[in-house]
Every structure is written in structure tokens, then in C-alpha cells.
Amino acid sequence: MSGGETKMVKTTIDGREYEFAEGATILEAARSVGIMIPHYCYHPGLSIAGACRMCLVEIEKIPKLQISCYMTVGEGMVVHTDTERVKRARKSILEFHLVNHPTDCPVCDQAGECGLQEYYMLHGLYTSRIRENKVRKTKKAFPVGPNIMLDQERCILCSRCVRFCREVSKSHELGMFKRGDREVIDTFSGRQVDNPYAGNVVDICPVGALTSRDSRFKTRSWYQQTAESVCPRCSRGCNIFIHYNIKRPWKNEGRKVVRLKPRFNAEVNKWWICDEGRFCFKYIDDPDRLSAPLRRVDGASETIDWPAALAIAAERMLAAASAQERDLAVLVSPQASNEELFLLKKVCDERLPGWRAAFSAATPFEPTEDDFLRRADKNPNTFGARALGLGEDKSMDLAQLKRAALEGRIGTLLVCYTDLTGLTGEAGQGWDAALEKVDTLIYLGHNDCATAQRADLVLPAATFAEREGTVTNFEGRIQLQRRAFDPAGESLPGWEILRRLGETLGGEYEFEGPEQVFQRLAETVPQLAGLSYESIGPAGCPVKK
Amino acid sequence: MGQVKLITKYFETPGCEKLPVFESVGGYSRLRRIVEEEWTGEKIIATLKASSLRGLGGAGFPTGMKWGFVPKDAEPPKYLVVNADESEPGTFKDRHIIMRAPHLLIEGLTIAALAVGAHEVFVYIRGEYWEPYRVLKNALDEARKAGYVGDRIMGSGRSVHVTVHRGAGAYICGEETALLTSLEGYKGWPKLKPPFPAVKGLFRRPTLVNNVETLSYVPVVLDIGPEEFAKVGIERNGGARLFGVSGHVNRPGIYECALGTPMREVIYDLAGGIRGGKKLKAVIPGGSSCPVLTPAEIDVSLDFDSLAKLGSMLGSGGMIVMDEDTDLVKVLYRICKFYSNESCGQCTPCREGTGWMTRIMERVYRGNGTSQDLDNLVDIAEMIGGNTICPLGDAASLPVMSFIRKFRPEFEARLSRKYVPSGEIASPGAEGATR
């Protein structure tokens, strides 16, 4: 081989000859041509254990059955994945897995997502030969960390979680103890599974041994619906699934979002997400959601309708933009999607000339960072905001905005998605006095906060799960967050609020949806030229440098 | 064919565990010859190949060929690991060698290290072998002081450092890759092969793993010459080996016999026949994992190939002889318990299957089984065998299949009589507690 070329080998699987890259495992090669070989311990993101023995296949000229997760394809190799011998072996392996596995499917939270159930329906014996009592193990539904529950009896000892803690999080909390059928996974003495990526062990557990303390028993998997999205918790933009439940609103303590799970993206997060992202969704269903536009009159807030709210906003913003002494300032947050940022800038530029943009990447979150996924910038769209020219020299930063407000130079201030007093460190200090000097404070966001409570006008916005939009991660990969369900109460997607505000201000912004906003955005921003929702695709795509 | 005195002659020399005595009977002369004549690794390996010496730990792989697999051009470090984790029930030969001729092992391992270019040798010794460990350590100290091991052995430019490591008491650590994992400091779990240890072994470096007995025969081969050694045995099964005869014989013990000696000769001539003049009922030829033989099969030639043809194995040479009064149901139950207890727990068929077989066997032993249980046992054993990471699965399943197939009437009798030997088994709770 030279020049990095991949050598290809011809291998026959189930009677058809294919060409595969040399070195590919039989399991992966078969999967690439649509032949699924059952497996438990194999996970593409982990080292090969070869322990579950579920992926046995027959290879001509080799007397014993071989595990396809470890054997690689070879020139002229003839593999059978579906012979009577293979089927018998699979049935037996499943039977072995079930010898000591409690068949507590009706009360196991993995029901519906259990590898044992699924493969048993395909390959099982159906008539049990097991008359013996099962080996009792010590820890039945026992917390092994702040977010993880362990049930040793259900564990099939595939070692995925142990390998994850050893190879991916490199935190080494889990080990395999004892021998034979007394063997268990457990934490090492004095340790708990509390690493920043701990939740992934729940995702990769093929049975109900490791479950999430947050979402277990909240709603059955078959009641959950799924939307593809991008994690909003930092600038990595990990690909996620939003699992939500709107079919049984009385389940999950009334929450719509049940859990977030990682979605594979080879370029961004592979198979994993961090726990900060995984558990960041609680605000979506929080009782403090801003569900209707509010105005404050004599210190008390009252609900108003959208036309009235937007009329007030337009009037105050226009007044400040037109005033000589006092400015209109808009605090732009990279929490917003590209579409929201684009419309905000467009409306202000076209209808409110003289507006002053303030840009802040500050968040209430600790700037945790590591060499794996977590990024110190806790905004999903800083790159996108900068591509739109926000945060450049002509914008104010947060300190400048604060100073301008204190000096009485801000007439109307629109704050987007930022609780000013809740920001970490110095960024969050001194806002009480500064906001005191602002004539009109308008807050656009999704949850109640100190800033919202001070605001003269509150415009309730949808969360990332309730609107469609694109965000661009720190590496310049633009990705799509799909809408999972309707916005809470009367809140509206940010782009929709801004479109209506623009129209209230007398402009014409006839976008039918975020996709049309994005089309205009792609025509306007050179880095996004030629892109569309379709071309972004499920894995996102890099923007032009 | 018959008894020979190649290793056992050292046993019969009083005080041979001491260096001066060992030297007085020719000890270390083979190593000296190799060092002084500056034998190359290739020459040592060629000599071993010519001797037809096979691995005597159980697998019987040709020793010279195995040595040849260690890449000679590989950068150091390369390792030699001596498997002294003798744990197969019925097997006690390595203990005798270490206790009574430790210097023979040290001489053999030094020659092996020179042959494959290993500068570090680890002797992984069974944790329960406290006394052999002490004897070996003493012998190593003597050898080190005399310059047979350590830096610049015998004044040459070659160094062989030897470390003795005590296992923590797991049968599986006698399996060569599990032994290496344990030596690396992890739980003793077998590794997937390939790569084989010769290429990537201890700490992912080229490693030769040999059994105590195999290495102890190396000086013997060089002493009498490979051709002569080969002639002691039969074709492809060179030389002799130590047979550890235990069970219901008049003279249990270690007997060194040429490979090819009939089993009947070992049992009836050397070991003095069945005690009390009773009839022979069954023989396990080479440690508890080997398929059992009936009295009709004991004229087999004791060599790797003949026993394989008979559907059994020469294994470790640990011959367990059972007389007509032996309760084979209990024997098999005991064997099952052993393997389920010692299964490392890594792969599913072995982890779950051995325990399951044991629990079924317990029921059969108590007289609460059915014929279907016997069929199930054979079926379960078939599905464990060959489907596991290491040979422990085979070791556990072969006795089950062979005992039930060859002695099924005895098992059936136990089922129909609902027979429970009084006082032989504790209450279920206590029995369970021992597992």
C-alpha cells in the first residue's frame, strides 16, 4: 500500500461476494452491507472484549465458530452468518445469558430497549430448560453515582461500562469482581461513577443493569417520541436525540422531555455526550417557563396578548432608536440560533437604524473544559454569531453595555436569552444599578429569572426543543436542531417573535418558517453560501472558511 | 518403553535441591557448554526441534517450534515466562520438580532465555505452593551467587534476570494468556488470540511461555543429545514425561515414563495396581479436564497423539485412577463444581454454563434429576466447548460429555433410585455457601 490507499479484500458473506477494506471486522463489514450480526459486548467506540459470544459466525476452513467482532475479513474468506450451526449457537448463547438473568421484564425499565428481549424474539429457544434457582447478587437497584443506578442481577457482564470508564472517560471507577457466575460489575472501593461523562454507561448498557436515576420509570420507551437535535449546552454542539413524551402527559411528572441521548456523529461527538449536556434540559418543562407576554405596570406584571406586546416593544425600541441622547441597545446572545440572530440583525438594521448591538458569550455556567468534548464556551452558536458580524469591534461588550447603562445612555434595552444578574463572576455584578437607569427593559427568553422580573416587557420564547434552527459549533460545523414539540403556552420561536416585531415596526418579513429565513441567510452570509437545510443533513456540514 | 530416569534421577539424589549436589551430578554443565561454545539461539532451537520435545503443560505443542515463533530480530525487551501455576486437579509433577530439582528448572529456563533472546524471566508460581516457592527462591539465590543467572552469566556478556511471582490462587492463571494478564497486574483474564504471546505477550512484548516440566527437560535433551532423547519416546512424541498417578492405586506417586508407554503398565506395574485388589472403573488420563477412559481403553499408548485418537488427552499427565466403588456421579459433580468455581467470568458460555451444569449435577447427584437433565448436560457442555475465549470452557465440558456418554447407566441408576449418600453432602444452604 502506498499513498494511504486502503487495500480491499474480497469476502463472501451469506453467499454474496463483497469488497471490504482489509482489517475490517466481519461484524462491521457485514453491517455495512445490511447483514446484522447480533452482539452485546461489541461497541464500535470501545476496545473489543469478545466476551458475550453472541456474534459467532461460521467461516469455511476454520473448524470452530468464530466471533465476528474480532475476526477480520480476508481475501477469499467465506463467512456464513445464518446457518443452522450458527443459529443453534446463538440460541445457546442467549440461553446462557438468561441462566442467571432475572426475567423481570415487566418491572425493568429497559423493557422495550433491551438487547436480550430483542435478540430473544429473533433467536430464542422459547421453551426454557432452566429449572435452577438463579444466582443472587448483592446489589439490586443500587445507586453507584449521582446519576446512575446499578442492578447487578440484570447485568450480562458485557463489560462495556467498565471499558468506557477505562478507555473513554479514563476515570476507572468500575471494575469486574469475583469469578464465574458470581461475577459482578461494581465500583472500586470508595469510588462512585461521577465522571463528567458518566451517563454514557447507561446508553451503552444493552440490558437494564445500568439505568439513569433521572429518567428511569418515568415513561416506557414505546410512549416516547424522538427528535434529532444538537446539544445547546456548549460550543461543541454534540448531536443528540430528544426523547419526549406527549402521548401520556401525566407520566414523567408532567415533563415532556424524558431524556437526552447522544446521536452518533463521527465529526463531533462520536457516540458520547457529557453529563452537563445530558441533563441540561430541565428548564424546558420547568414551572418557571414564561408562557405568555407580560408587561409591568406599577410594579405588577400583567398578561397581554402578542400584538399588544409587540406594539409596546416596537414603540419603545423605535423611540430609543430615534432619540438623540438615549440609545436602543440589544444584548445579543449566542444562545440563539442563526435564524434568530439573522432576523434580529436584519430587523434592527432595517427598521431601527442607530441601534447598538451588545454581544456577550457569558453564561451562568462554569466554564468547564477538557480534552474530550466539553468546551469552556457554553454557547452553542458563538461561531454563527460571529459569522453574522455580531461581537465584532462595532458591538459593545457586556462591560461597555453596563457602563453605558450606568451613565444613562441606554433608553431601551432588549436582552435576549441572558439573565444578566445570574452570570458568573464579574459579568453578573452591578446590573441592579445599571438596569435602574434604563427606561425600558425588554426581556426575550424562555424562563423566568431576575432580569425577566425587572423587565417592563417580557417576550416568551421557545426553547431549542420547541423551535427549528441551526447552530454553528466552534469548529464551524453548522447543524440543525429540529423541533420536537410545540412551544410552551403562548411562547413563540424566537425567529417568529422577531419576524412579527419587524412587521410591527412596518417592515415586510414574509418568511413562512425558519427554513426560509435560513435560505435568505445563506444568500447573505458568504460563509453559508449555497447551503440549505437539506444540504446540512443529519450530521451537519462545515461552513466555508 | 517404560520407566526411565531422566528427570527423576535428580529426585533420587539426596539434597539435589542444593547447588553443590546438583553440580556434582552434572548440573549446569549443559548451560556452561552453551555459554562457552557460544551457541546461537538458532542452534539451541534446532536441537530442541530434533528432540521432538512437546509442551508438557497440557497442550503438547512442539517445543522447538514454539521457541521459533518468538521473533529473533525483535527489539528488547523479550520475556520468558515460566508457567508454574500448576492447578489442574490430579496434577502435581511441577511441584516435585521445583521441590527436588529446582536447579534443573533454573538451568532449563536460562537456556530457553538464551535461545529466544529474553533477558527477563518471570516464574509465575501457584500461590498455594508456598514451600516450592521457598525452595525455588533459595535455589535462585544460589544460582545467582554462582553466576548461573543474573548479570553476565558465567562471565559471558549475556544476562538473564529471574523474578519469581506468586499467583493469588486462580486456576485460570495457568492458562498462558490469563497468566500474562495476571502478571501485568490485572485480574487474571485470558486474552483474545491472535496475537499470540510469542509475538505480543507480556506487556505486549514477544514472550515465550513454557511449563516447568518442559523447561526441566531442556538440559536433559542437551545432555543425552536430541536424537537419543527422541528415541526414548515415539515418533512426534519425543522423550519421556512425569506421570502423576493418584487415586485408588497401591503406590500413588510420580513415575517418569517414556512417551508411548501403555497406560496399563503405569497403573498395574509401576503404581502397583488397584488397591485392595478391586476392579478398575475409570481413569482420567491427564488431569481432571481430560475425557475419562473406561477399563477397556487403558491399553492406550501414553502419548499425545494416541490419546487424541481415543477422544481424550494426555494433558498434564495427572492420571486419576478410580476403582469399582467410586461414585462417578459424585466425581463429575465435584469436577463441575471445581470448574464453575474457577471460571474467570469473562465470557458468557463458560461463566454461566459451568455454574448451570453444576447446579443440574447437584440435583442429579441428590437423586432429583431426570434423564432429560443428562441430555441437557451433554447439550450444554457441547455448546460451551469451542465457544469460549480460552480452553477452560472445554476443560469444563469434556468431562461432562465423556462421563455421561461412557457411564450413563450409572447416572440413570442414580436418577431411578433417588439415592442420596448419607452424610456426604451438607444441607443445600451450606452447599450453596461453599460456591
The whole-number mean pLDDT for each consecutive block of 10 residues of chain A, a chain of 545 residues, reads 76 98 97 97 98 98 97 97 96 95 91 90 84 92 96 97 98 97 96 98 97 94 96 98 94 94 98 98 96 93 96 96 91 96 96 92 93 97 93 83 95 96 88 94 97 97 98 97 97 97 95 95 92 94 88
Picking from A129, A133, A180, the nearest residue to B341 by CB comes out as A180
pLDDT band (50, 70, 90) for residue B403: very high
Q: Is B13 on the interface with A (CB under 8 A)?
A: no
C-alpha cell at B344: 474467570
pLDDT at residue B176 greater than cutoff 70: yes
**Per-residue pLDDT for B419 more than 60?**
no
Burial of B55: CB neighbours in 10 Å, binned 0-12, 13-18, 19+ = buried
Task: Say whether residue B355 is in contact with chain A using an 8 A CB cutoff.
Answer: yes
- Angle B206-A165-A53 from CA coordinates, rounded to 5°: 65
Question: What mean pLDDT is predicted for residues B269-286?
Answer: 97
Band (B434; pLDDT cuts 50, 70, 90): very low
> pLDDT at residue B308 above 70?
yes
Q: Rounded CA gap, A210 and B105, in Å?
A: 49
Q: Determine, for residues B356 and A56 on separate chains, whether the beta-carbon distance falls below 8 Å.
A: no
Residues 33-52 of A with CB under 8 A from B: 48-52
Residue with cell 444441607: B427
Question: How many beta-carbon pairs below 8 A join chains A and B?
Answer: 97
Q: Three cell numbers at A209?
A: 443493569
Contact between chains at A181 and B192 (C-beta distance less than 8 A): no
E strands of A52-119, at which residues? 56-59, 66-67, 77-80
Backbone angles phi, psi at A478, to 5 degrees: -90, 135
Note the pLDDT of residue A355.
92
Rounded CA-CA distance B320/B241 in Å is 16
The confidence band for B234, taking pLDDT boundaries of 50, 70 and 90, is: very high
| Contact assessment for residue A148 and residue A201, using Cβ atoms and an 8 Å cutoff | yes
Mean pLDDT of B265-283: 97
Q: Do A180 and B360 touch (CB under 8 A)?
A: no
Helix axes A84-99, B371-384, angle to 10 degrees: 110
Q: How far apart are CA B399 and CA A391, in angstroms?
A: 76
pLDDT at A494: 97
Give DSSP secondary structure letters for B321-388. Answer: EEETT--HHHHHHHHHHHHHHH--S-SHHHHHHHHHHHHHHHHHHTT---HHHHHHHHHHHHHHTTSS
- Any chain B CB within 8 A of the CB of A178? yes
CB-side neighbour CA atoms (13 Å) of A181: 26
In B296-317, which positions are buried (b, 16+ CB within 10 angstroms) versus exposed (e)?
ebbebbbbbbbbeeeebbbbbb
**CB < 8 Å from A in window 254-313 of B:** none
Instruction: Tell me whether B352 touches chain A (CB under 8 Å).
Output: yes
Provide, as residue numbers in chain B, all residues whose Cβ is less than 8 Å from the Cβ of A179: 170, 172, 341-345
pLDDT band at B274 (very low <50, low <70, confident <90, very high): very high
Task: Please name the residues in contact with B323: beta carbons below 8 A apart, sequence gap of 6 or more.
Answer: B247, B248, B274, B275, B276, B278, B279, B280, B281
Contacts of B248 (CB under 8 A, 6+ apart): B274, B275, B276, B278, B321, B322, B323, B325, B326
| Alpha carbon of A200: minimum distance to chain B alpha carbons (Å) | 22
Beta bridge partners of B124: B83, B165
Q: Which of A48, A96, A135 sits opposite B348 (nearest CB)?
A: A96
Residue B140: per-residue pLDDT: 98
User: Could you tell me how far CA B411 lies from the centroid of its own chain?
Assistant: 29
Spacing of C-alpha A533 from chain mean position: 19
Classified as helix, coil or strand, B270 is: helix
The region, left, alpha or beta by phi > 0 then psi within -120 to 50, assigned to residue A85 is: alpha
**What was the pLDDT predicted at A392?**
74
List phi, psi (to 5°) of B82.
-95, 120
- CA of B310, closest CA in chain A: separation in Å? 19
Helix (H, G, I), strand (E, B) or coil at A262: strand
What's the gap between Cα A90 and its chain centre? 35
Q: Which three cell numbers stand for residue A206?
A: 444493552
- Cβ-defined contact of B344 to A179 (cutoff 8 Å): yes
| Chain B residues closer than 8 Å to A97 by CB | 348, 352
Segment among A473-487, A518-532, B75-89, B420-434 with least mean pLDDT: B420-434
| Minimal Cβ distance to A179: which of B345, B352, B353 | B345
Q: Does A130 touch chain B (CB under 8 A)?
A: yes
Predicted local distance difference test score (pLDDT) of residue B296? 97
Q: What is the DSSP letter of A501?
A: H
Q: Which 3 state secondary structure label does DSSP give A33? A: coil
DSSP state, A487? Answer: P
Q: How far off is chain A from B425, nearest CA to CA, in Å?
A: 18
List the single residue in A with minimal CA-CA distance to B369: A131
Which chain B residues have a beta carbon less than 8 Å from that of A137? none
Q: Is A155 on the interface with B (CB under 8 A)?
A: no
Cell of B53: 520435545
**Taking Cα atoms as reference points, which of B1, B68, B13, B88 lies closest to residue B265?**
B1
Give how far Cα B30 sits from Cα of A49, B109, B161, Å.
Answer: 44, 12, 19
> Rounded to two decimals, what is the model's pTM?
0.94
Q: Do B345 and A100 touch (CB under 8 A)?
A: no
- List of chain A residues whose C-beta atoms are within 8 Å of the C-beta of residue B376: 129
Instruction: Check: CB of residue B147 under 8 Å from CB of residue B29.
Output: no
Q: pLDDT band for position B429 (50/70/90)?
A: very low
Answer whether A84 touches B (CB < 8 Å): no
Q: How many CB atoms lie within 10 A of CB B29?
A: 14
Across the interface, of B341, B352, B380, the residue whose CB is closest to A97 is: B352
The grid cell for B97 is 520438580
- When CB atoms are compared, the residue of B346, B351, B380 closest to A181 is B351
Q: Mark yes or no for CB contact A65/B344 under 8 Å.
A: no
The answer to whether A415 touches A450, Cβ cutoff 8 Å, is: no
**B360 neighbourhood in chain A, CB within 8 Å:** 131-132
**Checking DSSP bridges between strand A77-80 and strand A142-143, what pairing results, if any?**
unpaired
Nearest CA in chain B to A72: B194
User: C-alpha B320: how far from its chain's center?
Assistant: 14
Q: Is B196 on the interface with A (CB under 8 A)?
A: no
User: Is A88 in the B-facing interface, judged by CB distances under 8 Å?
Assistant: yes
The nearest alpha carbon in chain B to A66 belongs to B387
* B276 to B255, B295, B321, B323, B325: CA distances (angstroms): 21, 17, 13, 10, 11
**Chain B interface includes A125 (CB < 8 A):** no
B353 contact residues in A (CB cutoff 8 A): 96, 99
Give B133-160 pLDDT, tens digit per residue. Answer: 999 999 999 999 999 999 999 999 999 9
Contacts of A70 (CB under 8 A, 6+ apart): A25, A48, A50, B192
Per-residue confidence (pLDDT) for residue B48, from 0 to 100: 96
* Residue A321: partners with Cβ closer than 8 Å, 6 or more residues away: A327, A328, A352, A353, A354, A355, A412
Q: What is the least distance, in Å, from the CA of A132 to any CA of chain B?
A: 7
Reported confidence tier of residue B11, pLDDT bands at 50, 70, 90: very high
Q: What is the pLDDT of residue B417?
A: 61
Picking from A29, A27, A21, the residue whose alpha carbon sits closest to that of residue A5 is A21
Chain B interface test: which of A55, A179, A182, A184 (most B C-beta within 10 Å): A179
Instruction: Tell me which amino acid residue A99 is.
Output: V
Alpha-carbon distance values, A76 to A12, A35, A57 (Å): 7, 18, 16
Model-level ipTM above the cut of 0.85: yes
